[in-house]
Amino acid sequence: MIVAQMADSESRLIINSTLKAPKTAMAIGKELGMPTSTLYRKIADLKRCGLLMVDRIVVREDGKREPAYACTFKEISFRTGEKGVELEVVLSERGMVKTWFELFFPTPASGSPEKP
């Protein structure tokens, strides 16, 4: 799925928009001029495959909360190895912090009651 997302031009635009600093979907959409439905679908796909993450929650002036998204990697490369072609994803510092945090503080699956 990572390869498919990187091959998609709109997904790459979203990643490029979040490389230097986290941004809300509203800010990304305004910057790229992308339709809202397309933007949220692409963001969901990028989050699902681990290329984008929620960095923090921003409280807007109207009091509503909105996630700010950040790119999770600093490098993606292909190389040939013993098992054939391999994909290597090098996480950014933000991506590594999130990964370690989730290892030690996992969130319960949605719809599942939390175990005592």
pLDDT of 82-93, one tens digit each?
889 887 877 777
Using CA atoms, how far apart are residues 50 and 27, in angstroms rounded to an integer?
21
Question: What single DSSP character describes residue 63?
Answer: S
pLDDT band at 110 (very low <50, low <70, confident <90, very high): very low
* Confidence check: pLDDT of 106 > 90: no
Interatomic CA distance for residues 100 and 6, integer angstroms: 24
pLDDT at 48: 93
Q: Which domains does the chain have, with CATH numbers?
A: 2-104 (1.10.10.10)
- Once rounded to an integer, what is the mean pLDDT over residues 33-61? 94
Q: What is the pLDDT of residue 38?
A: 96
The 8 Å CB, 24+ separation contacts for 41-44 are 42/8, 42/10, 42/11, 42/14, 43/14, 43/69
3-class DSSP state of 110: coil
C-alpha distances in angstroms, 42 versus 18, 104, 107, 109?
A: 13, 28, 23, 22
